[in-house]
């Protein structure tokens, strides 16, 4: 990858390198489990079904202030595949917490950035009904335990939160397994604080055009948790029915070159992943 000044947006398809994500959300590694692992509650299909029914029944109320929560992880190169699987499973088990509407952890299919120093391997995407629910999730003992166990496995972490506002009105907040997701993070040039709303509207207009190319959901917002965002201040999330639709749409889009926003951008990062299939533990 090259630096922002080169104008080249570099692509790197993630290689598995033995780091596959388990398709079973509730499966826990039977050897080497810590007490934290054993105390985590795994979500069954029945529980997930009840959560889906509640989300559909109350969509009109919830979607006014849905919080998008994204965390990017760079797993250390020397971590064994079994440990990576265990890390993914521990995080996915947090989907059972009452505060969580939707949560999934998965390996990245692709990572692109105009800043060569950035590099990530996995993503956590979650949705909450409010900032308060996100805060409660953050301090929940199960979440704290997972963070403590997983921290030594990660070389780098980046987190981002935004309010979806009206973007999800009337739509399901729970994403179906197999859905392909594209998350784009934007770092603005200095001195543009008074133009944030204008730039955000332009980003939303650009991403909304993807609905003509197969996208089924688009959200966009400014980051309200800057502490771990590495200077990125805006984000968008686009949902496609599957990987085929995402790849077809993505072949026509280089958002960092769009004339509406390119002069305002210092760096753009784009990551793709697929919501994994989930099975109930026996």
Domain residue ranges of the chain, discontinuous segments joined by +: 4-274
| pLDDT at position 51 | 52
d(CA 235, CA 119): 17
Is 136 strand, coil or helix?
helix
Token pair 């629910």: residue: 133
The first and second tokens of residue 220, run together, are 């966009």
pLDDT in tens, 65-124: 899 999 999 999 999 999 999 999 999 999 999 999 999 999 999 999 988 889 999 999
d(CA 116, CA 9): 10
CA–CA–CA angle 151, 153, 158 (5° rounding): 60
- Phi/psi class of residue 214: alpha, beta or left (left: φ > 0; alpha: ψ in -120 to 50)? left
Mean local confidence (pLDDT), 23-28: 32
pTM over 0.75: yes
Is 156 strand, coil or helix?
strand
The first and second tokens of residue 191, run together, are 């001195």
Residue 31: is its pLDDT beyond 80? no
Asked if 254 contacts 265 with a C-beta cutoff of 8 angstroms, the reply is no
The first and second tokens of residue 254, run together, are 């280089």
Report which of 19, 13, 60, 252 is spatially closest to residue 170, judged by C-alpha positions. 60
Report which of 205, 202, 188, 128 is spatially closest to residue 161, judged by C-alpha positions. 128
The first and second tokens of residue 54, run together, are 């509640």
| pLDDT at position 277 | 84
Residue 49: is its pLDDT beyond 80? no
- The pLDDT confidence band at residue 253, using thresholds 50, 70 and 90, is low
CATH 3.30.70.100 fits 4-274, yes or no: yes
d(CA 90, CA 121): 17
pLDDT in tens, 199-240: 999 999 999 999 999 999 999 999 999 999 999 999 999 999
Query: pLDDT averaged over the chain?
Result: 81
Is 245 strand, coil or helix?
helix
């Amino acid at each position: 990858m090259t630096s922002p000044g080169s104008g080249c947006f570099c692509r790197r398809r993630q290689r598995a390198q033995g780091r596959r994500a388990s398709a079973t959300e509730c499966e826990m590694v039977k050897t080497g489990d810590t007490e934290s692992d054993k105390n985590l509650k795994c979500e069954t299909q029945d529980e997930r079904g009840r959560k889906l029914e509640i989300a559909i029944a109350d969509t009109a109320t919830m979607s006014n202030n849905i919080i998008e929560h994204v965390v990017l992880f760079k797993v250390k190169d020397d971590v064994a595949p079994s440990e990576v699987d265990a890390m993914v499973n521990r995080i996915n088990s947090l989907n059972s917490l009452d505060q969580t509407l939707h949560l999934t952890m998965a390996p990245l299919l692709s990572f692109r950035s105009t800043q060569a120093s950035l590099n990530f391997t996995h993503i956590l995407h979650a949705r909450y009904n409010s900032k308060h629910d996100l805060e409660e999730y953050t301090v929940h003992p199960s979440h704290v335990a997972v963070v403590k166990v997983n921290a030594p496995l990660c070389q780098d972490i980046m987190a981002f939160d935004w309010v979806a506002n009206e973007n999800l009105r009337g739509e399901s907040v729970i994403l179906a397994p197999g859905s392909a997701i594209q998350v784009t993070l934007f770092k603005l040039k200095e001195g543009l604080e008074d133009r944030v709303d204008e730039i955000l509207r332009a980003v939303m207009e650009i991403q909304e055009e993807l609905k003509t190319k197969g996208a089924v959901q688009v959200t966009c917002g400014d980051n309200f948790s800057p502490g771990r965002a590495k200077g990125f201040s805006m984000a968008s999330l686009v949902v496609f029915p599957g990987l085929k639709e995402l790849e077809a749409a993505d072949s026509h889009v280089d958002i960092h070159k769009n004339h509406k926003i390119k002069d305002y951008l210092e760096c753009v990062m784009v990551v793709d992943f697929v919501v994994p299939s989930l099975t109930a533990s026996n």
